Structure 1
Amino acid sequence: MKNIKKTIIKLILIILMAITLFLAIFVIKGLISSSIVKNENNFIGDDLSDGNTIEQRHKDELFFLFAGVDSTGEKTNTRTDTLMLVLMNKSTKTIDIISIPRDTRVYIEGELDKINAAHSYGGMDMTIKTIRDFLGIDLDYYCEVNFQAVVDGVDALGGIDIDVKEPIANAQDIEPGLHRFNGQEALNYVRFRKGYSNADLGRIATQQDFLVQFISELSKPSKLLRIPMVFSKLSSNMDTNINYKNLLSFGWAFKNISQAQITTYTIPGYPDTIDGISYYIPDSEATIDIRNQVLYNYLLEE
């Protein structure tokens, strides 16, 4: 009889948990959807190109530039600290991320300079144009965040468990393995610069790994109730020209994504010093190979 009672109690608890989860999903979708009309104008911007028409090239894909800027809202006079091209595909449930080292030597308005300087000259307009010219791609969309987004987003998530790999741990002089970070600790972790044997490439690898683990953590069923607050904190520190409905649609499509579905790349090249200034010199041939492999739907005619 006791075993039967235990079984019944367990069954009731499972049913209650299932109902709670269903209601949580329903409420979250409702909360997010109900804010579309209210906030839509905050997520639609002008096209950032000369003579280009902003368009969705592939109905199942969202391709945009993720730019981290060390600022408090300035549109120019600040440099980008992080540049990542993000391609999300709903049909394959995959995300590709291509990082562009901030010291990459490229042409900005006809002059060779570090790619992160484009933002200081002309904000996201100049940054988008520079990357479009550098890679020969049709890049229309962007998400620009300041680094307070990391602090507020992680804190809204209730902290984050990050599995710190040994090379990163050695560089940062911390123990490898699982670490529980609050928002400020997470920001310090991703912005750490000194100590990597491969200079800024080590920092890029850390940021990529953190982003992959953050997306994976956010997509866990146990975090569903926190999604509205996380999204609110991120959006308050973000500027984007992606239609809000598109952003919502793609975000929801990837709610159960695993780390195995996210692939990261870095523009290949090597560090060099020219006229006393440190640059990252891109390997043109290898860069074109990655571009053609990942961004084949977005190539411009040459």
Structure 2
Amino acid sequence: MNEKRAHRKKPKRRFLKIFMAVVVVVIAGVSIYAFSIYGNAKDTVNEEMHEPVDSIDRNTTKRKMETSKPLNILLLGVDERENDSGRSDALMVLSLNPKKDSMQLVSIPRDTRTTIVGKGFEDKINHAYAFGGSDMSVATVESFLDIELDHYVRMNMEGLKELVDKLGTINVDNEIAWNDGKYDFNEGSVEMDGDKTMAYVRMRKQDPNGDFGRTERQRKVIQGIIERGASVGSVTKINDYIDVLGNNMKTTMDFDDMKRLFNSYRDTRKNIASYQMKGNGTNIDGTYYLMVSEDEVAKVHGMVSKEKS
């Protein structure tokens, strides 16, 4: 009788061992895969994307991020092509306040006339990048708005198409209807892939607001990417995103900074406010500039300072 019972238990024990072995193999496989993704992301960010600048004190910024203090991040959309130093096609100050779960995006028109820090003369604010790269752009925006920037992110506009395609699509709230001969852009919510996104941000002639309208559309695309990127949870796509960003993005943030940003600041997208600086166009020696009043600069300074409080 006892022999029969012992005989019956063996298959169960064998099954249990096999089951546990399979579990161990699966856990090991997932761990190795996760580690490889983590390692690839860390190497790409730290070796290819990380680009410190003298204008930003990393130690001060690091302390702010460790204690979840509000941050100001300069977003630069640059149009860099072969044999061309490039210009910042889009300039935006992104303010993140984790205590209020709020985000504010302020667009600075690229034709805005201001003093270029490091050069000492007045020119279009987007020319700062052509003269001195990200460092001069950061210093010039800080001087123009009398604010402190904690990080900058520079994205090659040519990389937007690839990034949106990797995300799948993004949605924007389009305010004017037009057709560019290839795509219809109706009023209201518009879903766009990468190619359609580039057509959306580059259109000028059919927009009654000219370059102001283009800047507004650029801001909507940035918001669309933030919303879509924050909602995508597929681990299998992380390496794809990292590879795209590695080829097209530079930032003062290293991998640990990005982890802190994701863990402590991701809910700031719950309350998004946006604003575009205003001014009056004028021609000086045959060149068009946007003249922004001191009152307008003070207004934006106050908006950013309030978000930082």
TM-score (normalizing by structure 1) = 0.76
Question: What displacement does 1:135 show?
Answer: 1.6
Distance in 2 (CA, whole Å) between partners of 1:28 and 1:165 is: 40
Structure 1: tracts of 5 or more residues without a match: 1-25
Deviations 1:184-239 (A, max 9, x none): 22112112222222221111111112221222122225656534422431232111
Deviations 1:159-201 (A, max 9, x none): 33x244232x248673224433221221121122222222211
Contact 2:98 2:267 in 1 (8 A): no
Residue of structure 2 aligned with 1:288, choices 279, 285, 298? 298
Determine if the alignment matches structure 1 residue 202 to structure 2 residue 213.
Answer: yes
Relative to structure 1, is the Cα distance of residues 96 and 297 closer, same or farther in structure 2, using a 3 angstrom cutoff?
Answer: closer
Contact 2:145 2:300 in 1 (8 A): no
- In the alignment, which residue of structure 1 is the partner of 2:244? 233
Contact 1:219 1:254 in 2 (8 A): no
Deviates more, 1:246-255 or 1:179-188: 246-255
Contact 1:105 1:282 in 2 (8 A): yes
Secondary structure of 2:126's aligned partner = helix
Contact 1:171 1:194 in 2 (8 A): no
- Describe how 1:1-302 pairs up with structure 2 within 5 A: 33-35=38-40, 37-39=42-44, 40-49=46-55, 53-54=57-58, 55-56=60-61, 58-59=64-65, 60=68, 61-72=70-81, 77-108=85-116, 109-160=119-170, 162-167=171-176, 169-170=177-178, 174-220=185-231, 225-253=236-264, 261-295=271-305
Distance in 1 (CA, whole Å) between partners of 2:33 and 2:223 is: 23
Contact 2:129 2:137 in 1 (8 A): yes
TM-score (normalizing by structure 2) = 0.75
Question: What displacement does 1:93 show?
Answer: 2.4
Question: What displacement does 1:102 show?
Answer: 0.3
How many residues of Structure 1 are paired with residues of Structure 2 in the alignment?
269
Q: What is the identity percentage for the equivalent residue pairs of Structure 1 and Structure 2?
A: 27
Relative to structure 1, is the Cα distance of residues 232 and 276 closer, same or farther in structure 2, using a 3 angstrom cutoff?
Answer: same
Secondary structure of 1:66's aligned partner = strand
Structure 2: tracts of 5 or more residues without a match: 1-30
Relative to structure 1, is the Cα distance of residues 125 and 230 closer, same or farther in structure 2, using a 3 angstrom cutoff?
Answer: same
Question: What displacement does 1:27 show?
Answer: 9.9
Supply the RMSD in Å over aligned alpha carbons: 3.1
Tell me the amino acid that sits aligned with residue 87 of structure 2.
R
